[in-house]
Amino acid sequence: MFLAILALAFPPSLPGPSASTVTISSGRAAQQVLPSYEPAVLPGDEATYGNVSASWASNVPPALVAVPSIIQPFLNASEIGLVVETVSGSSVTALQTLSYPNGTMRTSTIIGDVRTDGGNLTLWIVAGGLHPGDHLYASSNSQFGVPTINYTVTRVFAAVSRLLNVYNATLTLSGANVAIVACWDQATGILVSADFRLSYNGATPFGTFYAKGSGSVRLTETNLWSATPSFKLNASNLVWELKSASGKDIPITASSLGGFGGQVTIVLIVPMGIQVSGLNPSILSVPVNGSATSTLTITVPPSMAEGRYYVTVAGSKGSGPTSGPSSSVKLTINVVGDFTVSTGTSSLSVQTGSAVTIPVELYSLGLSGQAAVTVSVSLGGLKAAVANSSLALSPGTPSRTNLTVTANRGIVLGSYTVTITGTKGALLHSRVENVTVTAGPGSASTGPFSKILGLDPPVFYGILAAVAVLVIASVLGLRRRARSKAAPS
């Protein structure tokens, strides 16, 4: 997607030559050992780009050439923030925040694969540990191939001298001239600077068309390194999905920066409702250039309404939060609601010619709103109905109605099932009740324990049916003989 996005800036439909070439300013042979192409960032790592500038000018109709997506984020923005939210294999998800001079902000989630260049993460984060001659990605669907790191330089970013990987290239994309210089921190793969220039000029029978633009960004702050002894906090993930009435253990790691070593006190800011049942330990001993981990256990009670909540985990140097937090991570907890269906009984018995009523309960686990209640029976003759076909749910509270099961006098005795189903949106839960029908007083109903002339009902009625067939056959045979005798010879 890195070069594919550039190609979208000047599509082949634009007047001008369609050939594409790539010229690398410098480089060297690839190393013998192939890189692993794994992310070197962790959930909770942050980068702030305070020096942002961009421009775009064109007399080409926007329907033909819109503002390139590689420049669009920089236009009018005064700052760009990046927070890594999840890392899974070679896939990275980050929250990007664009800040504007008027105080407004716009956030979006960017997702990509540092191995394949998939998604829209593009140049913001690449694999860590790459070297000159390495491709930026192990593979790419770009029609221009895979970009290659040209060389390394040492520069100061966020007050620390860092070794950077540089990609420096000029490209011709469908007649447009493109120049790119991008630099990533070699150890972490985070973008520290990028400069783009795009220009096109073409004469047509309808006039001369032009399009030109530029973009520039510089990293100004990050928690990935520090000029003074400090630490950073990371979590195994920043975004969690928890069902109501469930819990989760979340590892929180404090890592040494700038040669820091010492105690780190963890404190929490928790929204009302979410429960913290453990933080073990709450004080970490972080070794120099090492790390230490605590386990945060959070629980979502059934009374917690489904929705999005935030838990802030902050760390301070020393054995107490006296100097203010030096690092923090914000966890997003997406609470998913549910409900249960119960009756409080495992079996039910009803006599023929009578009815029985039991309570039905829908218990809300974080859900609000109406839930439909329906019933069905396994065989005819048994009837079942609920008093209310819809119940109002409220988080952490039960909603009740009554189920009435009726057995007709003529029903066959035995076992039946009644299924009670609750439905809310895409959620559906059922409970099956076993119902035994027994003979009521003076009932003529038959069942597995009733006898007719000493025979089970199926046997008795089977013999009766066979006798009836024989009688009918005999009568029909006699009629045929009578007609044949009466016929004239």
Return the pLDDT at 142.
61
Q: What is the mean pLDDT of residues 466-477?
A: 70
Q: Mark whether 217 and 81 lie in a shared domain.
A: yes
Q: How many whole angstroms separate alpha carbon 485 and alpha carbon 294?
A: 107
Which of these ranges, 107-116, 352-361, 447-456, has the smallest mean pLDDT?
447-456
484 located within any domain = no
Position with higher pLDDT, 339 vs 462 = 339
Q: How many whole angstroms separate alpha carbon 219 and alpha carbon 234?
A: 20
Return the pLDDT at 175.
79
Return the pLDDT at 19.
30
| Residue 406, φ and ψ in degrees, nearest 5 | -120, 135
Q: What's the structural domain count of the chain?
A: 3
Which residues are CB-neighbours of 284 under 8 A, at least 6 positions away? 254, 263, 264, 265, 266, 292, 293, 294, 315
The two tokens of residue 250 are 């979340």
Q: What is the mean pLDDT of residues 74-92?
A: 95
Report the CATH number at residue 416.
2.60.40.10
pLDDT > 70 in the chain, percent: 83
Q: Mark whether 149 and 217 lie in a shared domain.
A: yes
Q: How many whole angstroms separate alpha carbon 147 and alpha carbon 360?
A: 64
Return the pLDDT at 8.
42
Q: Mark whether 46 and 143 lie in a shared domain.
A: yes
44 located within any domain = yes
The answer for 305, left when phi > 0, alpha when psi is -120 to 50, beta otherwise, is beta
Q: Mark whether 234 and 121 lie in a shared domain.
A: no
The domain boundary, picked from 288, 310, 336, lies at 336
Position with higher pLDDT, 61 vs 266 = 266
448 located within any domain = no
480 located within any domain = no
Q: Mark whether 275 and 368 lie in a shared domain.
A: no
The two tokens of residue 307 are 């929705």
Q: Mark whether 31 and 142 lie in a shared domain.
A: yes
Position with higher pLDDT, 11 vs 339 = 339
Q: Which of 270, 273, 277 is nearest to 306 (CA)?
A: 273
Which residues are CB-neighbours of 241 under 8 A, at least 6 positions away? 334, 336
361 located within any domain = yes
Pairing relationship of beta strands 191-204 and 207-218 according to DSSP bridges: antiparallel
Position with higher pLDDT, 70 vs 3 = 70
Q: Mark whether 107 and 182 lie in a shared domain.
A: yes
Q: Mark whether 208 and 251 lie in a shared domain.
A: no
Q: Mark whether 47 and 162 lie in a shared domain.
A: yes
Q: Mark whether 198 and 211 lie in a shared domain.
A: yes
The answer on pLDDT for 42 being more than 60 is: yes
467 located within any domain = no
The domain boundary, picked from 222, 249, 279, lies at 222
pLDDT in tens, 137-193: 998 766 556 789 999 999 999 999 999 999 999 988 777 888 999 999 999 999 999
Return the pLDDT at 27.
42
Pairing relationship of beta strands 382-386 and 390-393 according to DSSP bridges: unpaired
Return the pLDDT at 66.
78
Q: What is the mean pLDDT of residues 73-95?
A: 94
Return the pLDDT at 25.
39
The answer on pLDDT for 285 being more than 60 is: yes
pLDDT in tens, 302-317: 999 999 999 999 999 9
Q: Mark whether 150 and 15 lie in a shared domain.
A: yes
Q: What is the mean pLDDT of residues 93-115?
A: 95
The range of the structural domain enclosing residue 161 comes to 2-222
The answer on pLDDT for 432 being more than 60 is: yes
Inter-CA distances, 239 with 85, 250, 403, 449, 481, Å: 6, 11, 42, 61, 91
Q: Which of 131, 129, 171 is nearest to 153 (CA)?
A: 131
466 located within any domain = no
Q: Does residue 7 contact residue 122 with C-beta atoms inside 8 Å?
A: no
Q: What is the mean pLDDT of residues 190-199?
A: 94
185 located within any domain = yes
Return the pLDDT at 344.
83
Return the pLDDT at 452.
54
Q: How many whole angstroms separate alpha carbon 11 and alpha carbon 34?
A: 34
The domain boundary, picked from 336, 369, 401, lies at 336
Q: Where does the pLDDT of residue 481 fall: very low under 50, low under 70, confident under 90, or very high at 90 and above?
A: low
Q: Mark whether 26 and 161 lie in a shared domain.
A: yes
Whole-number average pLDDT of the chain = 86
Amino acid at 14: L
